């Protein structure tokens, strides 16, 4: 059986998150010190070699992302995506609440790599108490002088799901409507206030101090070779233990749900699991032996996403759940691009109709065609991912839809 392995949560409940001294005693800020002894190019090469991939959902190679920042850029920024808007996801909050200094150190390491003097943490608006904690942590780091000339400021989101998308997040920090920009240019070239900007997720930054300290090889050897390291998962829904865990990326979904999660609640029969947040695909029982790493998940048409694991037992009505998800996307679409604005609305209409027993086989065909177009043409990841719950449930649980259709 796979054991938990804690990298980003190694200090969780072992130190007082309010005390920087506790963090320093566990070797805190030694990673930053080592990073600062390295040249910028060597540091980026080291992170590239570790094959650390973004933990926010898109799994882009972290070092490669940093390398897009022009070496001669005069002003650059580091932005931490702590919007954590995916329903069922609370891993970033746990990482920050248990060990805020680790995030600051990770950001400062990135700051050294891309020559940034300023970092921003874009924090989910529903976490005001974490903002307070972070501000106290920043004050302590500043008074200890550990961050050097790197400053960090916390900005709060206003509750829009789309602001977890990096370019909408940047727009929001700039004070504009939270709507995504077209890419390219990517933030690494033109981001915050038009300057080269690295946007990484909390968990990505939190991995950096240990990677720098222990070396790229150490990290690359943990978990799946193509998506090495650990992943923090949050278990929700009909699972016995609704807990957070940090496991190597070779752990399988079955291990996650049945070993760490203690199985389906009250001994019920398993029906489906949705991984990666509300835009994740639905996975049936027969695919549970897939390991959680990004590429394995993708190979079964699912996504690792943020690492939310939402378990549904046999009593759950898949069509009703997907209708609720469709309503969520209808509400959270920013409305900038046509296919997402109009498409999420129509998906919600059709799902509502089917769920009420008023849908037809034609509705399913229409929604499938719409979903397949949305996946390819929407402006940002929100619209592109939003049909996934519909399309994967139509693939694995079509009988549940058919049961509800009008008999013509």
Partner 1 sequence: MELIKLKINGKDVETLAGSTILQAAENAGINIPRLCYVPDLSPMGQCRLCVVEVEGNVLLPASCVTPVTPGMVVHTESPAVIEARRIILELLIANHPLDCMTCDKMGDCRLADYAYQYGVKGSRFVGEKHNYAVDESNPFIIRNLNKCIQCGACVRACEEITGKDNLSYMNRGYNRKVTTAGDVPYVDSDCVFCGQCVAVCPTGALTEKQMHGKARSWELQKVRTTCPFCGTGCSFDLCVKDNQIVGVTTSPDGAVNGRALCVKGRFGWDFVNNNRRLTTPLIKRNGNFEPASWDEAINLIADRLSEVKNKYGSDSFAALSSARCTNEENYLMQKFTRGVMGTNNVDHCART
For partner 1, the binding residues (CB under 8 A) are 160, 177, 179, 182, 184, 330-339, 341-346, 349, 362, 366, 369-370, 373, 376-379, 384
E-strand stretches of 83-139: 118-123
Residue indicated by tokens 């790197």: 150
In terms of CB distance, is 317 or 375 closer to partner 1? 375
CA distance 32 to 34: 5
Query: Based on CB atoms, which residue is closest to partner 1, 111 or 339?
Result: 339
Q: From the CB of 341, what's the least distance to partner 1, in Å?
A: 6
CA atoms of 38 and 7, how far apart (whole Å): 22
Residue with tokens 């540091």: 43
Between CA 228 and CA 237, with CA 232 as vertex, the angle to 5 degrees is 135
Sheet containing 244-248: order of strands: 244-248, 230-237, 308-313, 270-275, 282-284
Alpha carbons 40 and 86: distance in angstroms, whole number: 33
Which CA distances in Å does 161 have to 74, 85, 180, 328, 381? 32, 5, 12, 10, 11
Element at 395 (helix H, strand E): helix 388-396
Q: Are 103 and 205 contacting, i.e. CB atoms less than 8 angstroms apart?
A: yes
Q: Please say which residue, 136 or 346, places its beta carbon nearer to partner 1.
A: 346
Q: Smallest distance, Å, CB 370 to partner 1?
A: 6
**Burial label, 61 (beta-carbon count in 10 A; 0-12, 13-18, 19+):** middle
Dihedral of the alpha carbons of 209, 109, 93, 57, in degrees to the nearest 10: -100
Q: How far is the CB of 377 from partner 1 (least distance, A)?
A: 5
**What is the helix (H) or strand (E) element at residue 274, kind and residue range?**
strand 270-275
192 or 379, CB closer to partner 1? 379
Task: State in angstroms the smallest separation of the CB of 345 from partner 1.
Answer: 4
Output the smallest distance, CB 184 to partner 1, in A: 7
> Considering just the CA atoms, what is the radius of gyration of the chain in Å?
21
Least Å distance between CB 369 and partner 1? 6
CB of 32 to partner 1, least distance (A): 37
Q: Is the Cβ of residue 320 or residue 342 nearer to partner 1 in the bound state?
A: 342
- We find the least distance from the C-beta atom of residue 359 to partner 1, in angstroms, to be 12
For partner 1, which is the closer residue by CB, 160 or 212? 160
Q: Closer to partner 1 by CB, 322 or 378: give it.
A: 378
Q: What does the DSSP assignment read for 16-36?
A: -TT-HHHHHHTTTTHHHHHHH
Determine contact, residues 125/38, Cβ cutoff 8 Å: no
How would you label 27-42 residue by residue, b for 16+ Cβ within 10 Å and e otherwise?
Answer: ebbebbebbeebebee
Rounded to a whole number of angstroms, the minimum distance from the CB of residue 226 to partner 1 is: 18
Q: Of the two residues 292 and 337, which places its CB atom closer to partner 1 in the complex?
A: 337
Distance of CA 234 to the CA centre of its chain: 11
Peptide bond into 185 cis (omega under 30): yes
Shorter beta-carbon distance to partner 1: residue 191 or 228: 191
Q: How far is the CB of 128 from partner 1 (least distance, A)?
A: 22
Least distance in angstroms from the C-beta of 322 to partner 1? 18
Whichever of 27 and 184 has its CB closer to partner 1, that residue is 184
For partner 1, the closer of residues 174 and 289 by Cβ is 174
């Amino acid at each position: 059986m796979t054991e938990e392995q804690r990298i980003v949560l190694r200090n969780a409940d072992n130190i007082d998150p309010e005390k920087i001294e506790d963090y320093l005693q566990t070797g805190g800020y030694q990673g930053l010190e080592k990073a600062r002894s390295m040249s910028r190019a060597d540091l980026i090469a080291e992170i590239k070699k570790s094959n650390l991939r973004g933990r926010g959902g898109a799994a882009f190679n972290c070092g490669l992302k940093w390398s897009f920042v022009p070496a001669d850029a005069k002003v650059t920024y580091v932005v931490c995506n702590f919007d954590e808007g995916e329903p069922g996801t609370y891993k970033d909050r746990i990482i920050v609440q248990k060990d805020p200094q680790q995030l600051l150190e990770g950001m400062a390491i990135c700051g050294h790599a891309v020559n940034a003097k300023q970092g921003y943490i874009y924090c989910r608006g529903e976490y005001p108490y974490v903002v307070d904690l972070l501000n106290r942590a920043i004050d302590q780091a500043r008074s200890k002088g550990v961050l050097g000339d790197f400053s960090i400021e916390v900005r709060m989101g206003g509750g829009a799901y789309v602001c977890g998308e990096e370019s909408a997040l940047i727009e929001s920090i700039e004070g504009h409507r939270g709507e995504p920009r077209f890419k390219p240019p990517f933030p690494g070239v033109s981001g915050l206030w038009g300057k080269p900007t690295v946007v990484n997720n909390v968990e990505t930054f939190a991995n950096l101090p240990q990677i720098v300290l222990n070396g790229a090889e150490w990290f690359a050897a943990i978990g799946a070779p193509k998506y090495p390291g650990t992943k923090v998962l949050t278990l929700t829904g009909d699972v016995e233990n609704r807990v957070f865990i940090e496991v190597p990326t070779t752990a399988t979904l079955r291990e996650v749900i049945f070993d760490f999660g203690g199985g389906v609640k009250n001994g019920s029969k398993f029906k489906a699991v949705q991984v990666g947040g509300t835009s994740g695909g639905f996975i049936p029982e027969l695919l549970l032996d897939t390991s959680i790493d990004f590429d394995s998940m993708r190979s079964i048409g699912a996504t690792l996403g943020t690492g939310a694991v939402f378990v549904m037992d046999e009593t759950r009505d898949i069509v009703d759940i997907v209708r609720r998800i469709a309503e969520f996307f209808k509400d959270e679409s920013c409305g900038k691009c046509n296919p997402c604005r109009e498409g999420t609305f129509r998906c919600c209409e059709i799902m509502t109709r089917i769920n009420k027993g008023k849908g037809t086989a034609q509705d399913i065909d229409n929604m499938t065609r719409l979903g397949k177009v949305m996946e390819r043409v929407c402006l940002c990841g929100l619209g592109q991912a939003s049909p996934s719950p519909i399309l994967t449930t139509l693939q694995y649980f079509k009988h549940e839809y058919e049961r509800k259709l009008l008999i013509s």
